[in-house]
Amino acid sequence: MGFRSRLAAIAVFLQLLPHPQAWAWGSEGHRIIADIAWDRLHDATLQKLRQFLGDNDLASISTWADDIRSARPETGPWHYVDIPPDSGGYEAKDCPDDNCVVAKIHQFAQILGDPEQPYAARSEALKFVVHFVGDLSQPFHAMADARGGNDIPVSVFGATQCGDYPCNLHSVWDTELIRHTGLREHRYARELEAMIAADHLKAGSADPVAWANDSLQLAKQAWVQPQTNIDEAYYLRERPVVDRQLALAGLRLARLLNEELGGKGQS
């Protein structure tokens, strides 16, 4: 391939890179969720996970599903589910051909828990499960309107630019509310651990459909009109929601992994 051809190929590749604001929680949120889950894994589960993780932890693979989206664009719809806000909640038609996060959590959990599946398939399933449980706890990953808030331009504490991109409602929930706490990953996780203990928080339903419906309701409550300024009052109102959703995702992920890997005597 000649030099100009290589440049053209690079340009096409860059154009195909997914918009980072379509991702959920950002790397910090996904790692926090993985940290909370990690502390709740049974010894048997941890032993099974070592064959996939080696000496690493869940946080080390928590953003893999986002990292590979440019190379595997077919996985993009797996990160969310489009539920109309005026509906009664999730219906099968919201997940055509099982091509949404609700169905993929079920699918990859089954692959992970099946010792007859090839190692490579189970290893990949683990990475998807760790990420998708987190995705579904981000409220706007269950909202159909305006591409989950991606098409709602906002300003954030007076700024219209969030990193390299214009601010939108989805990006506020991905990163900006977490960033505004000023907490680093492990400090944030410790604070959530204290909240879980103080509030006696439990994982609740094991059904991703219920998680999707919960997220949809939270997204509806957090919805704003275009050009809204996300201010301190919005942050203070929604910060407890962010905290609870991150914590619940960690609890749900731990339970799922313990059930699939720790309770069936599988290898």
- 73 has a pLDDT exceeding 80: yes
Within 10 Å of residue 213's Cβ, how many Cβ atoms? 19
Share of the chain above pLDDT 90, in %: 88
Q: Determine the average pLDDT of the residues in 104-110.
A: 98
Q: What integer pLDDT is reported at residue 9 of this predicted model? A: 45
Residue at 165 is within a domain: yes
Residue at 171 is within a domain: yes
- Location of structure tokens 């959920």: 24
**Average pLDDT of the chain to the nearest whole number:** 91
pTM for this predicted structure: 0.90
Q: Determine the average pLDDT of the residues in 26-33.
A: 96
Distance, CA of 143 to CA of 91 (rounded, Å): 13
Question: Alpha-carbon torsion 131, 136, 141, 144, what sign?
Answer: positive
The token pair that represents 20 in the structure block: 């980072």
Distance, CA of 143 to CA of 241 (rounded, Å): 16
What is the tens place of the pLDDT at every residue in 178-212? Answer: 999 999 999 999 999 999 999 999 999 999 999 99
Q: What integer pLDDT is reported at residue 20 of this predicted model? A: 38
Domain with 148 in it: 3-262
Q: Determine the average pLDDT of the residues in 152-161.
A: 97
Residue 24 pLDDT level (bands cut at 50, 70, 90) = low
Report whether 171 contacts 21 (CB < 8 A): yes
Q: Determine the average pLDDT of the residues in 227-235.
A: 98
Total of domains in the chain: 1
Question: Alpha-carbon torsion 41, 46, 51, 53, what sign?
Answer: positive
Q: What integer pLDDT is reported at residue 262 of this predicted model? A: 86
Report whether 44 contacts 261 (CB < 8 A): yes
Residue type, 41: L
Least confident of 21-25, 86-90, 110-114, 186-190: 21-25
The token pair that represents 82 in the structure block: 């489009």
Residue 25 pLDDT level (bands cut at 50, 70, 90) = confident
Q: What is the DSSP string of 102-118?
A: HHHHHHHHHHHT-TTS-
Residue at 219 is within a domain: yes
Report whether 156 contacts 167 (CB < 8 A): yes
Closest by Cα among 90, 91, 93, 96 to 77: 96
Please measure the distance between the N-terminal and C-terminal CA atoms of the chain and give it in whole angstroms.
46
Report whether 137 contacts 29 (CB < 8 A): no
Share of the chain above pLDDT 70, in %: 90
Residue at 143 is within a domain: yes
88 backbone dihedrals φ, ψ, rounded to 5°: -85, 0
Looking up residue 179, the CATH number of its domain turns out to be 1.10.575.10
Residue at 267 is within a domain: no
- 18 has a pLDDT exceeding 70: no
Residue 33 pLDDT level (bands cut at 50, 70, 90) = very high
Q: What integer pLDDT is reported at residue 23 of this predicted model? A: 55
Residue 10 pLDDT level (bands cut at 50, 70, 90) = very low
Contacts with 112 (C-beta within 8 Å, 6 or more apart), sequence order: 122, 125, 126, 129, 257, 260, 261
Kindly compute the dihedral angle of the four CA atoms of residues 29, 212, 193, 254, in this order, to the nearest 10 degrees.
-90
